[in-house]
Structure 1
Amino acid sequence: MQGVVGAFHEIDTTVAAIEDLKKKKLGEVTVYSPTIRHELEHAIDAPQSVVRRFTLIGGLLGVSFGYWVAIWSSTYWPLVVGGKAIASWIPYTIIGFEVMVLVGALSTVAGMFINSRIPRLSTTSGYDTRFSGGYFGIFIACDANKAGQAEELLRQHGAVEVRREA
Structure 2
Amino acid sequence: MQGVIGAFRELDAAVHAVEELKKSRHGDVTVFMPTPRHELEEALHAEPSIVRRFTLVGGLLGASFGYWVAIWTSEYWPLVTGGKAVGSWIPYTIICFELMVLIGGLSTVFGMFYVSRIPRLTLTVGYDPRFSHGDFGVWVECAPDRIQPVEDIMRRNGAVEVRGER
TM-score in terms of structure 2 length: 0.98
How many residues end up aligned between the 2 structures?
Answer: 166
Over residues 69-99 of structure 1, what are the superposed CA-to-partner deviations in whole Å (9 max), with x where a residue is unaligned?
Answer: 0000001110001111001010000000000
Query: Which residue does the alignment assign to 2:92?
Result: 92
**Structure 1 Cα separation of the partners of residues 85 and 29 of structure 2:** 61
- Work out the CA distance in 1 between the residues paired with 2:134 and 2:99: 42
Q: Give CA deviations for 1:38-60 in whole Å, capped at 9, x if unaligned.
A: 11111111110000000000000
Q: Which residue of 2 aligns with 1:16?
A: 16
In 2, the alpha carbon distance for the partners of 1:89 and 1:35 equals: 46
Gapped runs of 5+ residues in structure 2?
A: none
Q: In structure 2, what is the equivalent of residue 39 of structure 1?
A: 39
**Once superposed, what is the RMSD of the aligned Cα atoms?**
0.6
User: Residues 110-129 of structure 1: matches in 2 within 5 Å?
Assistant: 110-129=110-129
Q: Return the alpha-carbon distance in structure 1 between the equivalents of residues 34 and 114 of structure 2.
A: 23
- Residue 152 of structure 1 aligns to a residue in which SS? helix
- Following superposition, which runs of at least 4 residues in structure 1 exceed 3 angstroms of deviation? none
1:135 and 1:80 map into 2 onto residues whose CA distance is 67
- Structure 1: give runs of 5+ residues left out of the alignment: none
What residue in structure 1 maps to residue 162 of structure 2? 162
> Which amino acid in structure 2 is aligned with residue 105 of structure 1?
G
**Identical columns (%):** 64
Measure, in 2, the Cα distance between the counterparts of 1:117 and 1:134: 23
Determine the C-alpha separation between the residues in 1 that align with 2:95 and 2:130: 49
- Deviation, structure 1 residue 163: 0.3
